Chain A
């Protein structure tokens, strides 16, 4: 990450804040939207509150936090105009805290305390009850609403609607969808996330952020599904603790964000869990009553603080990384923060309104954002794995190729070394044994004037040198073998008084043949030896010319070696007895050329004989052992 100049940073911060302001404006718009309500014709706003026996108008805030023993009664009246078709009528209570008991003409038709979902003051659950036709009179009817409050909030009763069930029901259904069903859907989503994240954490212990988020999600799910009994029960305290676990949930949330954004976690962060733990302890030892008080005092503040913390962290992360995910998360946090503040103001009666709570609902925005963030990170990791896998495949292939090449090279080197070792051993043996004996024969034959024997021994020594020389690793450069050959024939020709004209025509030398093996070298040198020997023995030549050149062929450069003498050509003697080259010698030379895949051309005339050997583009494999 490139270090940023302060002006760029300030600009980015400004942009970020502007975007969040936009989000807030959007939230304001959302909050200003009217909640679903039936037509005003059916709403009742006038009520008589007992005690104190005063007329109040709905919605009404009742200052008491606990009215279980002697609940306040709201007396209302409604008219059922005569002549209406026989259709069921209902009473709709869109919002109240905490519980209501509704009686029509003195007969109770609804007690919301029996509906656990309606007992959750943090959810804006509506209630509807069909008035039994037998109770309903034409004209004036009496409606009595007893308001039960058991904290932590003060009592509240919104406008009441009484009218045809068909007219009231849609508004009720919409409210149920919004405030009851949606939170359940959100909770289901959260529970799936919790399970997935828990699995993720179990498999990847080094990434505790998944564990923190799983805990946060699990707590959220429990909050949704735990019902709040109004009475005392064995588990009432535990239930109250779980319902009041939002501070713990938000503390885990902060933990997640710190880890997810890769920030350093300061030790003091443990303190974030303190309010949640205090509430829990209160619930476990004090029961539902004290836990509600403790929650009211600590809960919303902690949640709000955590949200602010998360908002700051995400904003910092965005400033550092400029990634879209931080932006999405940041906007989601702003949404939640906005509605949290909205709800707190409502709880504290600072901004008394219809006491609709949206925090839990808006939390879905955050869950969606977190889902997006996780999926994005997962997809990116998969992409990285893919590209890594691709890179690995390439690397492995390269390594394999390299290894294969190295092995081939090693093999080649080992072969060369084995050949060299074999050659050294053979040479030592030949040197100590055969070589010494042949030299003795040469020496003795000279003393005894037994020229043919000396000649034969010398030829044997020459051949011995050829074989040993051919075994040397010449790296496919036939010139290196020809260099040694030149010395041998030079000595031979000197003894016979024949001049050697050695010509290497430009461009210098012969093509290199990596496939050249000692067997090939032996065949070629013996062939050339034969040509020289023929010239020495039968042609009566004065000069032997050896020409080495490279000629261009259709499929690349080819080497050409020719041996030419200035003696009597053998064809010139046609008709004379047994021309030497027509015999075994010629056949031998042809066979040797064939074995290597070389072309042999022999031209003989009055000016002498020319043996031309055209080397192949590629030397043939030698199947049969050379002779």
Chain B
């Protein structure tokens, strides 16, 4: 059984996600509606997977992601996004999330995504990949990246993979073009996520402020 902590304040959505994961017997889902509740659950036991919304009534999901990342490095973190937009997803990735889940995703897709994540396959969308590679371009043009996203540590191969994803190529296509094994592509993506993570709390807050991602 995979223990999942689901943090979502909107009740219908929470039920929906809970149902989607509960449909199969592989997930044990604990739900929380607030940051406080989530912290209480986290202090009891570290879940295998944390699914969290960003806008919560008593705080921000990003704080939760960061704390979990520091305290429970083994926990896989996914952000629940309404639109899968870069603003929320990239912010979450920078705090340590390694994937995202759309709130309106079909139930089978939801379960599959979480399953893949546990198996080490971080999902990435074309628009997120596009966002990251366009930042690498902006940085190589010596223009300060407006989002403060540090893409300097990405290798040319990783950037090539991101380009392929952004243009809608399948993992198999990308692996074929780059002379990789298809199975290694998800691992590369997880590496990319890790490299985009900011390392210290101070840096994170500063950069988040810079980006206007959090409002104090």
Contact = CB atoms under 8 A, between A and B. Distances in A.
A480 B167 CA distance: 5
A457 B12 CA distance: 14
A494 B106 contact: yes
Interface stretch (B26-34, B122-130, B178-186): B122-130
Contacts of B87: 424, 427-428, 431
Given A420-B146, A469-B127, A431 B88 contact: yes
Nearest to B164: A483
A417 B127 CA distance: 17
Given A439-B104, A465-B84, 12 more contacts: A413-B143, A424-B212, A440-B12, A442-B16, A443-B104, A468-B85, A473-B134, A474-B130, A480-B166, A483-B169, A495-B106, A504-B169
Contact of B126 (A417, A435, A480): A480
A401 B212 CA distance: 37
Contacts, number: 108
A464 B13 CA distance: 18
Interface string A480-513: 1011111100010011000000101000010000
Nearest to A441: B12
B106 A491 contact: yes
Given A427-B85, A439-B103, A442-B16, A480 B130 contact: yes
25 contacts: A431-B85, A432-B55, A435-B82, A438-B104, A439-B12, A440-B10, A443-B13, A443-B15, A443-B103, A446-B19, A447-B15, A461-B82, A461-B104, A473-B134, A475-B134, A479-B167, A480-B126, A480-B167, A483-B165, A484-B127, A487-B125, A491-B106, A494-B108, A502-B168, A502-B170
A502 to B, nearest CB: 7
Interface in A392-434: 413, 417, 420, 424, 427-428, 430-432
B136 to A, nearest CB: 13
Most interface-central of B12, B125, B131, B168 (chain A CB within 10 A): B168
Contacts of A468: 83, 85
A26 interface: no
A484 to B, nearest CB: 4
Interface string A572-590: 0000000000000000000
Contacts of B85: 427, 431, 468
Interface residues of B, number: 36
A479 B108 contact: no
The contact size tier of chain A is 35 or more
Contact of B166 (A428, A444, A483): A483
B168 A482 contact: yes
A436 interface: yes
A65 interface: no
B9 to A, nearest CB: 10
Contacts of B15: 443, 447
Contacts of B166: 479-480, 483
B164 to A, nearest CB: 9
B40 interface: no
B74 interface: no
B36 interface: no
Nearest to A500: B170
Given A439-B13, A487-B126, A431 B82 contact: yes
A413 B143 CA distance: 10
